[in-house]
């Protein structure tokens, strides 16, 4: 490590907060981080203001771990601000890398999403039909809310990104590996994904016993899987064959199918298409009726195959009617 302490920033946009939590999963390496770097911006953990970042010189921050998709005006503003102030921008987690779960809202519009949340959801009680307003006047002045976008973006669709750490959330080990590379000055080529180069299947300890053919698709709650056999062979949709390794197969080791959160293998442009192809290749069907019956057992195909990558997929979002614009 160098004698001069680095300046590190951490930010969350449209995300659940799990990527911030994973920083604590570095365990004792957190002490090494504290010894090597000063955290100059981390709103989730400490009381920082945007003005603190605005006051910094351009390029003053050495590395920024930016998690979350870009969904609002505020997210875009802070992404561009941190990009200007940062030498090395890291997309940290699935939402920043590929849009993640927030990207599924690209099948609707911002208005439809807000209407569902505030008006029509079964758990919502809003007799006055009160909706969020972009500006509200109060005695102390005018309050502002950021505008929701119709289309959710990954981080690199808005600003340049040097490195990518996938995962929902990433592992603490991968997060530390990225920070350590910056500290040691041993950065991989720009554009690199800091994760494995193999598939999750190659990390998974479950045994493949039969020729990989299935006649039905089952869901985890429907039966008790064999604890030693490949989950795909047991009829569960497991995306290990088409998902980048690096997670240590943590899900499949506890008999939960891989969801694909580490994203596509190198060279794959549409992860959802690759996942669909992987499942289609093992279906044992005699005709179109058999195929339809099997695929109808998947209750949410889009949410299943594009859970993490819709924002960066080939079709990216549903078409917006002119009256919705």
- pLDDT of 292: 84
Q: pLDDT tens across 268-310, in order?
A: 999 999 999 999 888 888 888 888 888 888 889 999 999 999 9
Phi, psi (degrees; rounded to nearest 5) at 149: -90, 155
Q: pLDDT tens across 181-234, in order?
A: 888 888 899 999 999 999 999 999 999 987 778 888 999 899 999 999 999 999
- As a whole number of angstroms, the distance between CA 15 and CA 89 comes to 17
Same domain? 119 vs 97? no
Residue 80: other Cβ atoms inside 10 A: 13
- pTM here is 0.92
Rg (CA), the chain: 22
Same domain? 73 vs 127? no
- pLDDT of 141: 94
Same domain? 268 vs 173? no
- pLDDT of 1: 43
Same domain? 143 vs 156? no
- pLDDT of 36: 87
Tell me which residues of the chain have a pLDDT lower than 70: 1-3, 321-325
- pLDDT of 170: 95
Q: Is 190 a domain residue?
A: no
SS3 278: helix
Same domain? 92 vs 240? no
SS3 218: strand
> Residue 66 is part of a domain; what is its CATH number?
3.40.50.700
Q: Using H for helix, E for strand and C for coil, what is the string for 287-309?
A: CHHHHHHHHHCCCCHHHHHCCCC
Same domain? 94 vs 161? yes
For residue 249, is it left (φ>0), alpha (ψ between -120 and 50) or beta?
left
Same domain? 24 vs 79? yes
Same domain? 128 vs 138? yes
Same domain? 55 vs 78? yes
Residue 265: domain span: 200-312
Same domain? 180 vs 303? no
SS3 313: coil
- As a whole number of angstroms, the distance between CA 239 and CA 5 comes to 40
- pLDDT of 111: 94
What residues does 91 pair with on adjacent strands? 66, 164
Number of domains in the chain: 3
145-177 per-residue burial string, b: 16 or more CB within 10 A, e: under 16: eeebbbbbbbbbbbbebbbbbbbbbbbbebbbb
Tell me the H-state helices in 86-229. Answer: 94-98, 110-115, 172-184
Q: Is 10 a domain residue?
A: yes
Same domain? 90 vs 220? no
Same domain? 34 vs 166? yes
């Amino acid at each position: 490590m160098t004698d001069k302490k680095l300046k590190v920033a951490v930010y969350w946009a449209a995300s659940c907060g799990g990527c911030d939590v994973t920083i604590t999963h570095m365990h004792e390496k957190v002490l090494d981080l504290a010894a090597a770097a000063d955290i100059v911006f981390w709103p989730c953990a400490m009381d920082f203001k945007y003005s603190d970042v605005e006051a910094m010189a351009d390029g003053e921050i050495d590395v920024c771990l930016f998690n979350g998709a870009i969904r609002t005006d505020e997210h875009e503003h802070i992404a561009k601000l941190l990009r200007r102030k940062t030498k090395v921008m890291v997309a940290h987690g699935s939402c920043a890398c590929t849009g993640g779960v927030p990207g599924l809202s690209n099948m609707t519009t911002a208005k439809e999403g807000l209407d569902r949340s505030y008006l029509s959801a079964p758990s919502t009680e809003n007799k006055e039909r009160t909706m969020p307003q972009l500006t509200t006047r109060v005695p102390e002045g005018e309050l502002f809310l950021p505008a929701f976008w119709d289309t959710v973006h990954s981080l690199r669709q808005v600003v340049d990104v040097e490195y990518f750490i996938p995962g929902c959330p990433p592992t603490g080990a991968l997060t530390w590996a990225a920070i350590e590379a910056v500290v040691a000055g041993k950065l991989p080529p720009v554009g690199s994904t800091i994760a494995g180069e193999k598939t999750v299947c190659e990390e998974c300890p479950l045994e493949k016993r039969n020729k990989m053919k299935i006649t039905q698709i089952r869901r985890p709650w429907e039966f008790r899987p064999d604890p030693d056999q490949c989950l795909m062979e047991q009829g569960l949709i497991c995306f290990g064959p088409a998902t980048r390794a690096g997670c240590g197969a943590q899900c499949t080791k506890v008999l939960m199918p891989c969801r694909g959160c580490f994203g596509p293998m190198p060279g794959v442009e549409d992860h959802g298409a690759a996942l669909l192809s992987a499942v289609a290749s093992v279906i044992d069907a005699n005709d179109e009726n058999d195929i339809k019956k099997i695929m109808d057992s998947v209750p949410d195909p889009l949410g299943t195959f594009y859970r993490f990558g819709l924002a960066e997929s080939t079709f990216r979002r549903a078409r917006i009617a002119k009256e919705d614009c």
